[in-house]
């Protein structure tokens, strides 16, 4: 079942033209559309389902610098500065609060990793503090675990995914962005080698710039146009709880389970590192490129063969501009949550916080978390196709950096000075033989 998500009204008519067409109504696409509109660019956003219908409403709602890959830190810092002002800027509630986030562990290896990360992060100006076991106990009162230590970022925060992305979308509409939901993009059009338009199920629109921000579907759309995009996905399970005592006002990451306080008095709970790897054609074809990532993450994975092999983002699909595309056959990826993982999450919460005895899951959902081999997104132009830009591959941590990513995408599309160095996010690293290394911190 999909998590509840705020409604955004669709515009009725597809315009004849726009400066930029954005494909995808998740955080990446909506934030970029909003930033472009703020700068006077005319934008049409095309969404095959509904705004924030997939992973942008299914994430944990963490807005953090803590434990990010150092390549992402400037973007994460930019995003937090944007989050700070969004409630007042939009005139709507995003749920953002600077509450601080804590990671706690019983394992020395985790603490050593956080300590090494902290040395790097402080060089970027991140306020990050190592905690001893006794300091963890003081900062996490009522917690029954005996922690070896932890790490705390007081300037990180939380937001409500089901509120934030729709609020951004409505604000974008007030600035003139045209949003069409239940309208799939089928094909790009080109003239003299440059982007000239987009064919949708509701007609064609002229444009000189397209941003592909389709989440897990981005790879399929790009492959259709002969553009290789390395992207693999894992099915996740998350849930939110009934109202419960406030054991934290922010977020806590512990071994296996994470919890984040919600505005409604419950918690959004994630099962860290646990998921299902679904066997798919492109998953197999890209196995070599993702091997190092798989070696690191495989401990928490289960495996399945089913419908996703034949349909969905990693299936083999062909279509024509005047025919039904895969994006119309599956409007919203809504995988079934794993009931065993939901029970496991509740059991872990109650075992860790006895005060939460009696807490129940109010709603659970599955999600498809897509990743690049280095777990770093692509926010970039595509040199082989002038006028084409990509903002995808956020690897399970795009919501928090979304406002910053939207700024960077807008910078690149408009040819303006980038807000942060875009080099780590360039598309060509995936195809030019660059050693992508192991994925860094998540």
Per-residue pLDDT, 224: 97
* CB contact set of 217 (below 8 Å; sequence gap of 6+): 24, 48, 313, 327
Helix axes 73-90, 161-174, angle to 10 degrees: 70
Tell me which of 402 and 303 has the higher pLDDT: 402
Whether pLDDT at 249 is above 90: yes
Whether pLDDT at 440 is above 70: no
Tell me which of 243 and 300 has the higher pLDDT: 243
pLDDT in tens, 396-426: 999 999 999 999 999 999 999 999 999 999 9
Residue 430: CA atoms inside 13 Å, Cβ hemisphere, count?
28
Residue 304 within a domain: yes
Run of H or E including 237: strand 232-241
| Closest among 346, 344, 399 to 377, alpha carbons compared | 399
Per-residue pLDDT, 290: 86
CB 51 within 8 A of CB 161: no
CB 53 within 8 A of CB 332: yes
Residue 68 within a domain: yes
Per-residue pLDDT, 12: 87
260: left (phi over 0), alpha (psi -120 to 50) or beta: beta
Q: Report DSSP letters for 35-61, one per residue.
A: HHHHTT--EEEE-SS-TT-SGGGTS--
Distance (Å, rounded) from C-alpha 391 to C-alpha 29? 7
Read off the tokens for 109: 């290896």
Distance (Å, rounded) from C-alpha 58 to C-alpha 62? 12
Under DSSP, the state recorded for 419 is S
Q: Where are the alpha helices (DSSP H) in 53-200?
A: 73-90, 108-123, 133-139, 161-174
User: What's this model's pTM, rounded to 2 decimal places?
Assistant: 0.96
Per-residue pLDDT, 385: 98
**What angle (nearest 5°) sits at the alpha carbon of residue 274, between those of residues 51 and 144?**
110
Residue 388 within a domain: yes
Residue 27: CA atoms inside 13 Å, Cβ hemisphere, count?
29
pLDDT in tens, 178-200: 999 999 999 999 999 999 999 99
Run of H or E including 63: strand 62-63
Whether pLDDT at 306 is above 90: no
Distance (Å, rounded) from C-alpha 247 to C-alpha 281? 44
Residue 356 within a domain: yes
Per-residue pLDDT, 50: 98
The per-residue pLDDT of the chain, averaged, comes to 95
Mean pLDDT for the stretch of residues 330-339: 96
Under DSSP, the state recorded for 377 is -
Per-residue pLDDT, 442: 54
CB 186 within 8 A of CB 173: no
Residue 131 within a domain: no
Judged on CB neighbours under 10 Å (0-12, 13-18, 19+), 300 is: middle
Range of the domain at 299: 20-100+155-430
Residue 380 within a domain: yes
* CB contact set of 314 (below 8 Å; sequence gap of 6+): 219, 220, 231, 232, 233, 278, 280, 281, 282, 283, 308
Mean pLDDT for the stretch of residues 271-291: 89
pLDDT in tens, 99-152: 999 999 999 999 999 999 999 999 999 999 999 999 999 999 999 999 999 999
Whether pLDDT at 363 is above 90: yes
Whether pLDDT at 441 is above 60: no
Distance (Å, rounded) from C-alpha 114 to C-alpha 120? 10
Whether pLDDT at 1 is above 70: no
Distance (Å, rounded) from C-alpha 37 to C-alpha 28? 14
Helix axes 161-174, 398-414, angle to 10 degrees: 20
Under DSSP, the state recorded for 383 is T
Per-residue pLDDT, 300: 82
Sign, CA dihedral 418-419-422-425, equals negative
Distance (Å, rounded) from C-alpha 92 to C-alpha 108? 43
In this structure, what CATH number is given to the domain that contains residue 271? 3.50.50.60
**What angle (nearest 5°) sits at the alpha carbon of residue 398, between those of residues 334 and 255?**
80
Per-residue pLDDT, 4: 87
> Number of folded domains in the chain?
1
Residue 28 within a domain: yes
Distance (Å, rounded) from C-alpha 264 to C-alpha 248? 14
b/e per residue, 385-419, with b = 16+ CB within 10 A?
A: bebbbbbbbbbbbbbbbbbbbbbbbbbbbbeeeeb
Whether pLDDT at 246 is above 90: yes
Per-residue pLDDT, 9: 97
Residue 163 within a domain: yes
């Amino acid at each position: 079942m999909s998590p509840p998500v705020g409604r955004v009204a669709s515009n009725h008519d597809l315009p004849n033209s726009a400066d930029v067409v954005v494909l995808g109504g998740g955080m990446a696409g909506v934030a970029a559309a909003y930033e472009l509109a703020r700068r006077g660019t005319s934008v049409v956003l095309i969404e095959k389902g509904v705004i924030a219908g997939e992973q942008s409403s299914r994430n944990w709602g963490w807005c953090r610098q803590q434990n990010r890959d150092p390549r992402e830190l400037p973007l994460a810092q930019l995003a937090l500065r944007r989050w700070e002002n969004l409630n007042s800027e939009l005139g709507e509630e995003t749920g953002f609060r600077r509450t601080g986030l804590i990671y706690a562990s019983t394992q020395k290896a985790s603490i050593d990793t956080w300590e090494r990360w902290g040395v790097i992060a402080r060089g970027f100006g991140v306020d990050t503090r190592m905690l001893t076991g006794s300091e963890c106990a003081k900062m996490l009162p009522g917690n029954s675990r005996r922690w070896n230590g932890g790490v705390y970022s007081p300037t990180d925060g939380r937001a409500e995914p089901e509120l934030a992305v729709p609020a951004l979308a409505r604000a974008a509409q007030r600035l003139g962005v045209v949003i069409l939901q239940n309208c799939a993009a089928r094909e790009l059009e080109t003239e003299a080698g440059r982007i000239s338009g987009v064919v949708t199920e509701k007609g064609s629109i002229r444009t000189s710039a397209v941003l592909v921000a389709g989440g897990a579907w981005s790879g399929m759309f790009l492959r259709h146009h002969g553009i290789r995009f390395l992207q693999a996905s894992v099915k996740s399970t998350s849930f939110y709880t009934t109202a419960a005592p406030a054991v934290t006002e922010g977020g806590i990451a512990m071994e296996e389970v994470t919890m984040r306080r919600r505005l409604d008095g419950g918690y959004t709970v994630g099962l860290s590192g646990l998921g299902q790897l679904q066997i798919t054609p492109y998953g197999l074809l890209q196995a070599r490129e993702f091997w190092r990532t798989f070696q690191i993450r495989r401990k928490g994975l289960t495996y399945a063969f089913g419908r996703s092999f034949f349909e969905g983002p990693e299936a083999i699909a062909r279509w024509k501009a005047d025919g039904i595309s895969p994006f119309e056959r599956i409007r919203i990826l809504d995988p079934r949550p794993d009931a065993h993982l939901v029970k496991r999450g509740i059991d872990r919460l109650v075992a860790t916080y006895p005060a939460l005895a009696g807490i129940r899951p109010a709603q659970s959902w599955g999600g498809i978390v897509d990743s690049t081999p280095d777990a770093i997104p692509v926010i970039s132009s595509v040199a082989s196709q002038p006028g084409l830009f990509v903002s995808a591959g956020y690897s399970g941590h795009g919501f928090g950096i979304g406002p910053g990513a939207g700024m960077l995408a807008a910078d690149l599309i408009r040819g303006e000075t980038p807000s942060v160095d875009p080099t780590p996010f360039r598309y060509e690293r995936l195809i030019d033989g660059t050693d992508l290394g192991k994925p860094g911190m998540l």
